[in-house]
Amino acid sequence: MTGATHTPLVAVVDDDDAVRDSLALLLRMHDCLTREFASGEAFLAWAGTEPVDCVLLDLKLGGMSGLDVQAALAERGLAWPIVMLTAHGDVATTRAALKGGAFDFIEKPFDDAVLLGTIRAATDTSAARRAKTEREARFARDLERLTARERQVLEHVLASRHNREIAALLAISPRTVEVYKARIMDKLRVDRLPDLIRLALEMGVGHE
């Protein structure tokens, strides 16, 4: 369940001490870090202090319900994968949890293999989101390194204009356009023009 450089952190929110302890033990045995909370209120007081890869959230908590906690996380913009746990699942609560953005819904008593598989899928989702965020941040930094003229050339390239068209529009030679394109690709860390276009479109640049 671990990646090469990142150990998943799973928050366990359950008001049953025995369930909470057994879940934490199971997760630590499978190479996860855990933080345990006996109430939704305690969890929300802590939420935001560390990056979380998955939340195991009991639906029927003593104070705030799991759905209340889920809504509070959404209001804060904390889009962590939530796996709802309940011994009283029904169609309505399942629908509400999933509609609210829950990653999955598992009834107690749960099968360890099923639970671990679900958590693995949830932490993989977190890893993918984290990688995307890091990639976007790096692209934004790289884009800032472009000069004003390089940005102009990039915009024309993404508009599918050929070197001669770009040269005429910018009053420079086609050879100079090639030089600018090479600099752009170097700064944006791509080797080929198709890779440059693919990266720019993925990052939302050049949609016009």
Residue 117 and residue 24 in one domain:
yes
Q: Please give the order of strands across the beta sheet that includes 33-37.
A: 33-37, 9-13, 54-58, 82-86, 104-107
Helix (H, G, I), strand (E, B) or coil at 57: strand
Residue 171's region, left for phi above 0, alpha for psi from -120 to 50, else beta, is: left
What does the pLDDT average to over 191-203? 86
* pLDDT digits 0-9 by tens, 31-68: 899 999 999 999 999 999 998 999 999 988 888 989 99
Residue 126 and residue 180 in one domain:
no
Q: Which residue has the tokens 């639906």?
A: 59
Inside any domain, residue 3: no
The residue out of 134, 157, 188 marking a domain boundary is 134
pLDDT, position 178: 93
Question: What burial letters (b/e) apply to 135-161, b meaning 16+ CB within 10 Å?
Answer: eeeebeebbeebeeebebbbebbbeeb
Residue 55 and residue 105 in one domain:
yes
pLDDT, position 206: 63
Inside any domain, residue 4: no
Residue 126 and residue 183 in one domain:
no
Helix (H, G, I), strand (E, B) or coil at 64: coil
Instruction: Decide if pLDDT at 2 tops 50.
Output: no
Residue 37 and residue 119 in one domain:
yes
Residue 111 and residue 176 in one domain:
no
Residue 88: φ, ψ to 5° = -130, 40
Inside any domain, residue 2: no
| Rounded Cα distance, 16 and 57, in Å | 12
Residue 107 and residue 185 in one domain:
no
Number of structural domains (the chain) is 2
Q: What is the DSSP string of 113-137?
A: HHHHHHHHHHHHHHHHHHHHHHHHH
pLDDT, position 98: 74
CATH number at residue 176: 1.10.10.10
Vertex 139 angle, CA 149 and 165, to 5°: 35
Q: Where are the beta strands (DSSP E) in 44-201?
A: 54-58, 82-86, 104-107
Inside any domain, residue 126: yes
| Rounded Cα distance, 126 and 136, in Å | 15
pLDDT, position 11: 96
The residue out of 134, 169, 188 marking a domain boundary is 134
pLDDT, position 80: 92
Q: Are 31 and 57 in contact (CB under 8 A)?
A: no
Residues 6+ apart with CB under 8 A from 21: 36
Range of the domain at 57: 9-134
What does the pLDDT average to over 161-166? 92
**Res. 104 pLDDT band, cuts 50 70 90:** confident
